[in-house]
Amino acid sequence: MGVELTSEHSPQRGRTRLVVGGVLLVLVALVVGTLVGRATTLIAAPTPDDSSAEAGFARDMQTHHGQAVEMSLIIRERTDDPEIRLLALDIATGQTQQQGQMFAWLSVWGLPQTSSGPSMQWMSLPVINGDEQGVDHSGMDMTEGSESAAPGESMPGMATPDDLRQLSSLSGVEAERLYLELMMAHHQGGVAMAESVLARSDNPQVTTLAQNMVRQQSKELDYMSELLAARS
């Protein structure tokens, strides 16, 4: 005699709980990030102005991170694979926390969260040492990340609306492959943006977070490459 699945124990109800749980973790990460961001601004440093690389980076990277979070929440609904789901949760919570930090910076600096100017304008500002092939304070190679971007250009690595619709329409291994491909391109763009601000800022709050982004996303790129190869 078969066991009847009630709504309480149905797979759909279990998936809904996991999705809600993931969203709650993301919200907690946002709150934590905002608190951390406010705390780090207590470090003595000149307050950036509205047209600075620091302000532009904080605004544009919040948008960039927002899409990574969106894609990660989508894939958690489209696959049951534990490796992909854990990776997506790590990316969503980690980047949401960083969004909170950057939001807090702008708030404490007394600057608006959005700019009337075009996105990526800050990447055309001169680098600190006057050399586009420079090296940041931690000794990381800045060759790729120091490339200037024309104001108004799309942020590097961003998925298109069609990409997001396709991701939402797929499931299983097909969705996993597309997620990994999109997120790898997204991370490469994020690393380039972080390296670019490292070449243009000596603000300790900004450079510390940007260095952490480069390290973390570079590690995740290596891991995603392995996951994608296993699904090819």
What CATH number is given to the structural domain containing 203?
Answer: 1.20.1260.10
Q: Is residue 33 part of a domain?
A: yes
Q: Is residue 4 part of a domain?
A: no
Q: Estimate the crossing angle of helix 204-230 against helix 53-78, to 10 degrees.
A: 30
Q: Is residue 98 part of a domain?
A: yes
Output the six-digit token pair for 154: 């799309």
Query: Within 13 A of 150's CA, how many CA atoms are on the CB side?
Result: 2
pTM over 0.75: yes
Which band of pLDDT confidence, cut at 50, 70 and 90, is reported for residue 151? low
Q: Is residue 2 part of a domain?
A: no
Q: Is residue 52 part of a domain?
A: yes
DSSP reduced 3-state for 80: coil
* More reliable by pLDDT, 110 or 43: 110
pLDDT digits (tens, 9 = 90+) for 68-81: 999 999 999 999 99
* More reliable by pLDDT, 130 or 195: 195
d(CA 150, CA 57): 14
Output the six-digit token pair for 202: 């000596």
Number of domains in the chain: 1
Per-residue burial over 54-84, b = 16 or more CB atoms within 10 Å of its CB, e = otherwise = bbbbbbbbbebbebbbebbbbbbbbbebeeb
CB 203 within 8 A of CB 150: no
Q: Is residue 129 part of a domain?
A: yes
pLDDT digits (tens, 9 = 90+) for 43-62: 557 899 999 999 999 999 99
Q: Report in angstroms the alpha-carbon separations of 155 from 70, 186, 189, 190.
A: 16, 9, 7, 9
pLDDT for 117: 86
Task: Give me the domain span that covers residue 34.
Answer: 12-230
Q: Is residue 5 part of a domain?
A: no
pLDDT for 165: 98
pLDDT for 15: 47
- Residue 141 bridge partners (DSSP): 135
d(CA 150, CA 24): 37
149: which DSSP letter?
Answer: -
Q: What percentage of the chain reaches a pLDDT higher than 90?
A: 67
Q: Is residue 18 part of a domain?
A: yes
d(CA 130, CA 152): 23
